[in-house]
Amino acid sequence: MLSLKGAATLAPMKERLENIQALRGAAALMVLAAHVKEAESDYGGVGALLPHNLYMGVVGVDLFFLISGFVMTHVALSGARNVKAGRRFLYNRAARIYPAYWAATLVLMVLYAGKLALFDEATPFPNPVATFLLTPSPYYPLLPVGWTLVHEMYFYAVFTLFIFWNGVRLPLFLAVWAGVVIASLALGAFGANAWTKVVFNPLTFEFMVGALIAIAVRNGVVKFAAPALVAGCAIFAVQTVFFADRLYPSVMGQFAWRAAIFSAPFALILYGAAALEKSSGALAPKWLREAGDASYSLYLIHVPVFLV
């Protein structure tokens, strides 16, 4: 439950957004729950103990993408916009992503070599260069969750262009970006190769939605925070409890449907959490914020841990 700290006045956006950290923690725990369920299905033998609904945790990735768009916008609009700032922004993002990812991949390589098989079925050995650099590839990186980091690095690269380009407003930049993706999808360019499957992926719209939410909250649009948060949680709860069997297949490779179905509740949740913190100081539970602090490490290391 959210707790109130401070007066109910409109506060400036802080560098550290506590409720965003909490949502990061929630997203990481969702993905972890889904992979625990997958591990039970693959290796648990007869008789499932965990509910099928846990598979829906895979859409924690979608929440991550919305959060990423929000955070990138908050960072970009809080500082200078020029070539130097853009280079610093990209360096900082790469420094956060790569070292921990490489360490987790190295651990997985050792386990993979020791156990001789990573999955219960034949899996093409990924392109080493693509795995190392997180560039698009026909195959998953050796660390499977790395596919989401490929998208993140793409988001960062595009957003760096916005920071370079001081003369354009972010809504216009996002509109042009969205137009390019929509046109490419309409022309059938999405499936041309591994690169187009990232650059023109409908999941990109989730990042854009997160960016628009950040713009709204920064501009003081916080009036509907509580209703939005409640509505978003309720919608996702209904999706998970009553429609998991129908929705789960839709999230496995059907990216347009995935973005359409889950952007709505997660956008409401993201807006509500951020706007409540800004307007009233209401914060998510401490344990969830602390889970957010560890979310990237948890996200990276849980697959190697499952192999131990």
- 4-62: pLDDT as tens digits: 444 344 555 566 799 999 999 999 999 999 888 888 776 665 567 888 888 889 999 99
Task: Locate 218 and state its tokens.
Answer: 């920064």
128-137 in b/e form (b: 16+ CB < 10 A) is eebbeebbbb
Cα 115 → chain centroid: 30
Task: Give the per-residue pLDDT at 2.
Answer: 56
- Residue 252 in this model has a pLDDT that exceeds 90: no
Torsion region of 81: left, alpha or beta (phi above 0 gives left; psi -120 to 50 gives alpha): beta
Structure tokens at 220: 């003081």
Query: Which residue intervals of 134-254 are DSSP H helices?
Result: 146-164, 170-186, 194-199, 204-218, 225-242, 244-251
End-to-end CA distance of the chain: 35
Residue 39's nearest CA partner among 24, 61, 54, 28 is: 54
pLDDT, mean over the chain? 87
Q: What pTM was computed for the model?
A: 0.90
Question: How would DSSP label each residue in 192-220?
Answer: SSHHHHHHT-TTHHHHHHHHHHHHHHHTT
Distance in angstroms (rounded) separating the CA atoms of residues 240 and 233: 10
pLDDT value at 69 more than 50: yes
Confidence of residue 117 (pLDDT cuts 50, 70, 90): low
Taking alpha carbons only, the member of 21, 51, 92, 2 closest to residue 279 is 2
CA separation for the pair 68, 159 (Å, rounded) = 11
